[in-house]
């Protein structure tokens, strides 16, 4: 997401640092954002679209699976031994 006051600065810095790739980067950003650099509608501003966006999502999912992220929590058959459930009456010397 590139809000209005950040977009010109981002483009300027991009052209300074990567002059040969700046047009390609900006074109790719516009491609996934429907032709614009900034989409401010709620629910759309942090999402993209198109073939390239789907490729990014697929690559992200593959690496999350490979690294073990975003998996369901495992259920344990017994309680962890480091936690003791508090009793109704507190202990004076514990």
Q: Which residues of 58-68 are buried (b: 16+ CB within 10 A; e: fewer)?
A: eeeeeeeeeee
* Six-digit token string for 90: 């507190």
Kindly give, in sequence order, each residue whose CB lies less than 8 Å from that of residue 46, ignoring residues fewer than 6 positions away.
1
What pTM value is reported for the model? 0.57
Is residue 92 classed as helix, strand or coil in its secondary structure? coil
Report helix angle 51-67 to 22-32, nearest 10. 90
Domain ranges of the chain: 7-67
Choose between 68 and 72: higher pLDDT. Answer: 68
pLDDT class for 35, splitting at 50, 70, 90?
confident
Residue-wise pLDDT for 13-28, tens only, equals 999 999 999 999 999 8
């Amino acid at each position: 997401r590139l809000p209005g006051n950040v977009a010109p600065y981002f483009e300027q810095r991009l052209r300074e640092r990567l002059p040969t790739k700046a047009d390609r980067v900006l074109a790719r950003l516009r491609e996934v954002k429907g032709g614009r650099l900034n989409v401010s509608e709620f629910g759309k501003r942090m999402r993209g679209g198109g073939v390239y966006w789907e490729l990014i999502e697929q690559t992200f999912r593959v690496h999350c699976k490979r690294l073990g992220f975003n998996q369901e929590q495992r259920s344990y058959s017994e309680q962890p031994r480091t936690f003791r459930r508090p009793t109704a009456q507190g202990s004076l010397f514990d």
